A and B are shown apart, each in its own frame.
Chain A
Amino acid sequence: MPKYLLLKHYRGAPTAVNDVPMDRWTPEEIDAHMRFMDDFGKRMEASGEYVDAQALAPDGAWVRADDAGTAPVTDGPFAETKDLIAGWYVIDVDGWDRAVELATELSMAPGKDGRPIHEWLEVRPFYGSPTSTGD
């Protein structure tokens, strides 16, 4: 079965419809969001489509070797303009349509005022996985 990456961003994705920072939600709205995310993960496990999920901290740095290749050169923390990944799901599904369906579901996670966030998710096929149904 083909694998896809559903990528969440801290920054760099197009702005969500219901875009309010989480500390401006009510505690109950945060709880509802967390429950949704928990359920989403469990549903994917139950359907046999879950492979991996990881969350990344927002800090870190660019690193390369210096010209002699002996010492690290670092550039960080990341500038505010950087496209910043927050985490991902890896899913193993029937095809592109199902990957899009799951991303849509995830995008509907509840946010401020209990309304869906309509967050943008980046859906990326692993090599060997189609980006359309091929019809």
Chain B
Amino acid sequence: MVWFDEATLRPLVPQVIGVLVRRGADFAAAEDAVQEALVDAWRTFGDGDGAGHAPRDLKAWLVTAAWRRFLDVVRAESARSRREVAVDAEPEQGLTEAVDDTLHVFFLCAHPALSPTSAVALTLRAVGGLTTRQVAEAYLVPEATMAQRISRAKRTLSTAALDRPGDLATVRRVLYLVFNEGYTGDVDLAAEAIRLTRQLATLADDPETSGLLALMLLHHARRPARTEDDGTLVPLAEQDRSHWDTDLIAEGVAVLQAALAKEQRGELQLQAAIAALHADARTAGETDWRQIVAWYDELLALTGSPVVRLNRAVALGEADGARAGLAALAEVDPGLPRHRAASAYLHEKDGDLATAARLYAEAAGLATNVAERTHLVRQAARSNQGLSG
């Protein structure tokens, strides 16, 4: 017997959907059938005499239950349309097939025909094994709205070209969106994104996917120190580093090192490398800014991204002084989000509090969330206080 709980159950969801699809079920029907089978599983093992325990091979049990649910639907439909269907069960799969099936479900849910919102919702249900209600709560929308979004996504998939599903890059984008949503309701989306990325990294053996996993782990490790109890943002330099999760940092660094050893560097590995250098510093003062600038140089050469150019200017300000940072910032498009905040910070560091206060206040007006706005107004206030006192 194995312990029966969500943590055991949810990783099986994409595997079981994958098996049904391989046996000839279309994705939408397979996904419905597996959700039904999950309800059956909770009813059978979730309470009553067998409480907390499930059969040794829970996956086989779910495949049987889901397949039965699928056949019920097919027979009902064929009875209506007076068609005969022949459905034959296939033999047990090998390990490689199971990996391929699960990856296929990841790829379908990140199909390029889906909008990002739809891909996220479908991934959380069909890959993450969350219920529609849980996904709805996590995104603070009514359950009926989320149910519509998911069924529309499945309809889109049923007409889309399934020979060209998503690939690892599209799946990574979806998982990163989920990660950045953080946690608002009962479901911790950042933790869920990490779980799914960990699963993907195991299935795919791909350095950039490992890079994404490392990046998530290293960011997540700092979460306990990133905000105060009332939601106030704490900047990196002021965080209480004893609240960082050292286990997650160690795992992130190990995953990153293994990825970098493959010598196929990509954007996510480089971003993770920068996060690792921050995580490595016991105090803000010990941060190896010179090495961080070197990683930004490589990242900039690879991507040419204006956002990277902006972050590099701030890092250069730490490594070579505020003037060097401001000179680098002068080369960056001033219309970028956070340009004004970066400029304010570098002017403050340069001792020009009047300019810093003005820029912080302007940056606050451009902030895209309340926590950031409050933080920037507070920085403006602090600079003004420094001027008068």
Q: Which of B230, B364, B378, B380 contacts A38 (CB 8 A)?
A: B230
- A48 at the binding interface (Cβ < 8 Å): no
Q: Is the CB of A30 within 8 A of B365?
A: no
Contacts of A29 in B (CB 8 A): 381
How many interface residues does B have (CB within 8 Å)?
20
Of B231, B357, B360, B378, most A-chain CB atoms within 10 Å: B378
A87 to B230, CA, bound (A): 19
Nearest opposing residue in chain B for A55, CB measure: B370
Contact A30 B230 (CB under 8 A): no
Contact between chains at A26 and B232 (CB < 8 Å): no
Q: Please report the C-alpha to C-alpha distance between residue A57 and residue B364 in the assembled complex, in whole angstroms.
A: 10
A42 vs chain B, min Cβ distance (A): 10
Cβ distance A10 to chain B, nearest Cβ, rounded Å: 10
Tell me, in angstroms, the Cα distance from A25 to B381 when the chains sit together.
6
Q: Per a CB cutoff under 8 Å, which of A21, A34, A55 touches B232?
A: A34
Structural contact, A27 and B231, CB atoms closer than 8 A: no
> Which residues from 337 to 357 on chain B have a C-beta closer than 8 Å to any C-beta of chain A?
357
A residues with a Cβ closer than 8 A to B are 21-27, 29-31, 34-35, 38, 55, 57-59
B303 within 8 A of A: no
Report whether over half of chain A's contact residues are helix, strand or loop; otherwise say mixed.
helix
Bound CA span A112–B194, Å: 43
* Chain B minimum-CB-distance residue to A38: B230
Q: Which residues of B contact A59 (CB under 8 A)?
A: 366
Using A27-B378, A30-B374, A35-B230 as known contacts, list a sample of 16 further A-B pairs with CB atoms less than 8 Å apart, ordered by residue number in A: A21-B361, A23-B361, A23-B377, A23-B381, A24-B381, A24-B384, A26-B381, A27-B385, A29-B381, A30-B378, A31-B232, A34-B374, A38-B231, A55-B370, A58-B365, A59-B366
Q: Which residue of the partner chain A has the closest CB to B357?
A: A23
Q: Nearest 10 pairs between A and B by C-beta?
A: A23-B380, A23-B361, A38-B230, A22-B377, A27-B382, A30-B378, A27-B381, A55-B370, A23-B381, A27-B378
Inter-chain CA distance A59–B232, complex, in Å, is 23
Query: How far is A128 from B15 in the complex, measured between Cα atoms in Å?
Result: 52
Q: Which residues of A contact B367 (CB under 8 A)?
A: 57
**In the assembled complex, which residues on chain A have CB atoms less than 8 Å from the CB atom of B231?**
38
Q: Are the C-beta atoms of A23 and B370 separated by less than 8 Å?
A: no
CB-based contact B385/A26 at 8 Å: yes
Task: State the CA gap A29–B368 with chains docked (Å).
Answer: 23
A33 vs B205: C-alpha distance when bound (angstroms): 50
The docked-state distance in angstroms from the alpha carbon of A35 to that of B229 is 10
Give the CA-CA distance A70 to B113 in the complex, in Å.
24
12 A-B contacts, Cβ less than 8 Å apart? Answer: A21-B361, A23-B364, A23-B380, A23-B384, A24-B381, A27-B381, A30-B377, A35-B230, A38-B230, A38-B231, A57-B368, A58-B365
- Chain B residues contacting A21 (CB-CB under 8 Å) are 361
Cα distance, A34 to B368, chains bound together (Å)? 18
Tell me, in angstroms, the Cα distance from A25 to B388 when the chains sit together. 12
- A120 CA / B232 CA spacing, docked (Å): 25
Nearest-CB distance from A61 to chain B (Å)? 15
Q: A residues within 8 A CB of B366?
A: 59
Q: In the complex the two chains form, what is the Cα distance from A120 to B183 in whole Å?
A: 33
Q: Which of B230, B357, B381 contacts A22 (CB 8 A)?
A: B381
In the complex, what residues of B have CB within 8 A of residue A30's CB? 374, 377-378, 381
Q: In whole angstroms, what is the CA distance A35 to B360 when docked?
A: 22
From 4 to 25 in chain B, residues with beta carbon under 8 angstroms from any chain A beta carbon are none
CA separation between A36 and B68, bound complex, in Å?
56
Q: Shortest CB–CB separation between residue B339 and chain A, in angstroms?
A: 16
Closest Cβ–Cβ distance, residue A31 to chain B (whole Å): 8
Question: What is the minimal beta-carbon distance from B140 to any residue of chain A, in angstroms?
Answer: 10
Which residue from chain A places its CB closest to the CB of B364 in the assembled complex? A23
A57 — which chain B residues lie within 8 A by C-beta? Answer: 367-368
Q: How far is the CA of A29 from the CA of B377 in the complex (A)?
A: 12
